[in-house]
A = this chain, B = another copy of it.
Amino acid sequence: MNPVIELLNAHRSIRRFTDRKIAPELLRELIQAGQSAATSSHVQAYSVIHVKNPANRETLAELAGGQDYIATCSDFLVFCADMKRPAEAAERAGADATRGMTEQLLVASVDTALMAQNVVVAAESEGLGICYIGGIRNNPQAVSDLLRLPEHVYPVFGLCLGYPDQTSEVKPRLPVEAILKEDYYRDDQAQVDAFDASMREYYQARSNTQKDTTWSQNLTPLFEHKVRPHMRDFLVSRGFEMK
């Protein structure tokens, strides 16, 4: 296994950081490494808001459901899917640009995720720790107001970056046999059952907040309650009509 793959396999979320700040030149280097990721038709449908204002970081920590590491990490970024820039560029080049297609929502969301994951790999290669913040979608309109996001731009997730001040185990993943399927989709309940058993052992043995649960049990609140049921109306109101 080469050192890059070892780095990828060593990923775990970090939520406690030292006071050490990331050098601005390094942050810029991470974003550029992010931009090197593949992008659909070269559209580069993303923008990244670097939230420096401490009061705004406190507000975002609350809006994301009380995740205080948003305020305490070295740098907090909000990754936005951005169809405004390419649509307006196409218009200036003479196009009668259509907006609001479902395909455009997918392209921009995927472009943003590919870019962010490269930022994460680059960050971890420099000894930084990271934590994605999906909670930014708890209150996406308030986040959009705070960051003055225009129409056709929406916040997909946040990212905490900093020098780690905690150690934690790598969290297990589903067996590769469940994920990788030969030629056709196949049922993977047997692998899920085995994974549930191994996750129960993991939760009982891990160094902090031990509990008696499985992967499947942990997922129930995600499906029993409608999680972020506002997302559809929010996206439509921001010009992502899902046409």
Contact = CB atoms under 8 A, between A and B. Distances in A.
Nearest to A243: B232
A171 B90 CA distance: 19
A134 B122 contact: no
Given A170-B36, A171-B42, A243-B232, A182 B50 contact: yes
A212 interface: no
**Which interface residue of A96, A149, A180 has the most chain B CB atoms within 10 A?**
A180
Contact of A103 (B49, B137, B148): B137
A132 B215 CA distance: 31
Contacts of A232: 101-102, 242-243
B150 A98 contact: no
Given A42-B171, A109-B110, A90 B224 contact: yes
Interface stretch (A6-14, A15-23, A63-71, A161-169): A6-14
Contacts of A215: 42, 89
Given A215-B42, A220-B90, A33 B49 contact: no
Contacts of A49: 181-185
Given A9-B32, A182-B50, A110 B107 contact: no
Given A37-B11, A219-B43, A231 B103 contact: yes
**Which interface residue of A85, A112, A148, A222 has the most chain B CB atoms within 10 A?**
A222
A35 B181 CA distance: 14
